[in-house]
Amino acid sequence: MELQALSVGCLEPGTETSQRFVLSAYDAVEAVLENLQKIRELRRQETGDIRGRLPANEEDLLRAAIIFTGAGLDATLKQLIRDALPRLLETSEQAQAKFEAFAREELGTAEIADARAIARYLTSANPRDRLIEDYIYALTGSSLQSAEEVQKTAAALGIDDPKLRKRINGLRDLFVARNEISHELDLQRPERQGDRARRSRPISGTKTLCHEGLEVGQLIINAAGLQLAI
């Protein structure tokens, strides 16, 4: 029932807190799976056989593991944005380009300029710092609920590694499961006699989703750390 270990973490200044977050999320998910294992061992002792579909209480622990994974990835990447993005804007051309795109949208075009926004920035003590604060808030103000939003976060951090961006795309199943659980409690309308009222969650599939979600978070931290070290 153990969760596969994550890649070695990054210790570059600017990643410390996000590194603690992803490891804490990993520990929380692993603890849920350990509790599931204990419950299954007790059931084995009582019944002698635990083959077949999981009972509802055991599947609920798998659902909790998925929710913990999504929350941990969300908290990790938001903290990384807060801690690392200001420095990355000084060194990463891609991060700077995304920031400039945000600034254009925030301030308006030459044809339709936002006079209030422009005045707010110009009258602040440091217009660039104020704009960076608003950019960080725009990136962290709502929860990450899709692989596309994780891609946006990676792009903002100046990460363009094709292999990592492909793995981020692979998180779609995790976010589908996370949203089905958090928004619908996995409830579904039974189509045939014997169908369950809730979606089934297998152990192996859940472990794969959880590990990949946290591993991608770790890899994003490491990629940002490499850029901070330049």
DSSP string, 194-221: T--SB----HHHHHHHHHHHHHHHHHHH
Quote the pLDDT of residue 115. Answer: 64
* pTM for the model: 0.91
Among 153-157, 173-177, 191-195, where is mean pLDDT lowest? Answer: 191-195
Neighbours of 215 (CB within 10 A): 18
Quote the pLDDT of residue 132. Answer: 93
Quote the pLDDT of residue 136. Answer: 96
Quote the pLDDT of residue 113. Answer: 55
Q: What are phi and psi of 73, to 5 degrees?
A: -65, -40
Asked if the model's pLDDT at residue 219 lies above 70, the reply is: yes
CA distance 29 to 88: 31
Are 186 and 201 in contact, with CB atoms under 8 Å apart?
yes
Asked if the model's pLDDT at residue 197 lies above 70, the reply is: yes
Quote the pLDDT of residue 9. Answer: 94
Are 29 and 72 in contact, with CB atoms under 8 Å apart?
yes
What's the mean pLDDT in 173-181? 97
Written as six digits, the tokens of 124 are 């602040």
Asked if the model's pLDDT at residue 192 lies above 90, the reply is: no
Which has more confidence, 118 or 163? 163
Are 124 and 116 in contact, with CB atoms under 8 Å apart?
no
Asked if the model's pLDDT at residue 35 lies above 70, the reply is: yes
Quote the pLDDT of residue 72. Answer: 98
Nearest to 63 by CA among 182, 149, 170: 182
Q: What is the pLDDT of residues 101-146, one digit of tens each?
A: 998 887 765 555 566 666 676 666 677 888 999 999 999 998 899 9
| Cα-to-chain-centroid distance, residue 215 | 10
Q: What is the pLDDT of residues 57-104, one digit of tens each?
A: 999 999 999 999 999 999 999 999 999 999 999 999 999 999 999 988
Quote the pLDDT of residue 112. Answer: 58
